[in-house]
Amino acid sequence: MESLETSEPEKLNPFNNLFLARGFYTGRNDWWIYILGIFLAIIGYVVAQIIIIVPLMGVATNHGLSLSEITKNPNILFNPEAMGMNRSVMLALLMLMFVFCLLGLFVAIRFIHRKTISSVISGFEKIRWSRYFFSFTVWSLLLIILTVISYYSAPEELEIRFQLKPFLILLLVACIFIPIQTATEEILFRGYLMQGLGIGSKNGLMPLITTSVLFGLMHGANPETEAFGFATMMPYYMSFGLFLGLITLLDEGLELAMGIHCANNLISSLLVTSKNSVLQTDAVFYQKTEDPGGEIYAWLVMAAICFGILYVKYRWKNWNVIIK
């Protein structure tokens, strides 16, 4: 039986980046297989969306929402307040789409590419879980510190809405599903696509830019984008993708990016929610006034601090791993 990871010594390695090189040397890498893999991931997402939307349409009409209202604003189906649904149940339904997306991507990687999942996560033989948990901890602490500073500097902007029972349910749902959701996005963009585009372009710079742009565009349907405008939110989403992609190439694996992304979504969903937040949760705080400009500035400061900590800890010296 053919091995999941096959090495072909006769192929000339165009990379000095272990992560991109591992994608190059393992499994089958025909361009059409990557297209098929993306198609399977999208199919998984769409199938889950259909499964979810059909019953949600029934809930919406029973709650008094008209078809014209839903057509005008499809995102209303995923607004628990407008739908009269429990926030944590809605969160679980939203996250279910990523479970199916990951399943489709797994089928492509495992059975069509004949690769292991670890080969699209790390340039090393084993996934470096210590890196995942370290970056998760760093970003979580930065988010908590930012929230505390925000509360004490402008307490009128953050309303405490903590209720033990709803929060504990949220904690359970978020801890189960959000790591899957963020891992799916990281494996798809910074793993699968980064390696595939790297093989096609024979460098790391083009995949870094392309996946960052695609990552931003994927969030174009988020409520924040609709509320604050494409021009306001896309720089944030794309710069977040660029930040995670840069770390992935420098560290030659996805572990740090996965940890940061998971902490960002998980801790945010537990701490703060707002009117236009994509994740409407029973968080500790409700933000009364939204300031996307200020939030983007705060994010840039956090990203700079986080990058500095990671740079010092892991002593990245070879910047050529980003280019080639």
CA 239, chain centre distance (Å)? 13
Residue indicated by tokens 């999208």: 42
Lookup: tokens for 13: 């390695």
- Ranges in the chain, pLDDT < 70: 1-11
What's the one-letter identity of residue 323? I
* pLDDT value, residue 33: 97
Q: Which neighbouring-strand residues pair with 287?
A: 158, 274
71 touches 65 (CB < 8 A): no
Phi and psi dihedrals of 274, rounded to 5? -155, 175
Q: What is the distance between the alpha carbons of residues 192 and 187, in angstroms, rounded to a whole number?
A: 6
Q: What is the distance between the alpha carbons of residues 79 and 323, in angstroms, rounded to a whole number?
A: 42
Name the helix (H) or strand (E) containing 237: helix 230-251
Name the helix (H) or strand (E) containing 287: strand 285-287
Q: What is the distance between the alpha carbons of residues 85 and 94, in angstroms, rounded to a whole number?
A: 13
User: E strands, 120-278, where?
Assistant: 158-160, 272-274
195 touches 20 (CB < 8 A): yes
Q: What is the distance between the alpha carbons of residues 167 and 270, in angstroms, rounded to a whole number?
A: 8
Q: What is the distance between the alpha carbons of residues 121 and 192, in angstroms, rounded to a whole number?
A: 8
* pLDDT value, residue 10: 53
Lookup: tokens for 181: 């959701």
Phi and psi dihedrals of 287, rounded to 5? -85, 115
Q: Which residues, including other chains, have CB under 8 Å from residue 57's CB and lie 6 or more apart?
A: 70, 77
**What SS3 class is residue 272?**
strand
Lookup: tokens for 2: 């053919």
* pLDDT value, residue 321: 79
How far, in Å, are 135, 141, 196, 281, 314 from residue 43 at the CA level? 31, 36, 19, 27, 38
- Other CB atoms within a 10 A radius of the CB of residue 159 amount to 11
Q: What is the distance between the alpha carbons of residues 93 and 192, in angstroms, rounded to a whole number?
A: 25
Its pTM stands at 0.93
Phi and psi dihedrals of 25, rounded to 5? -90, -20
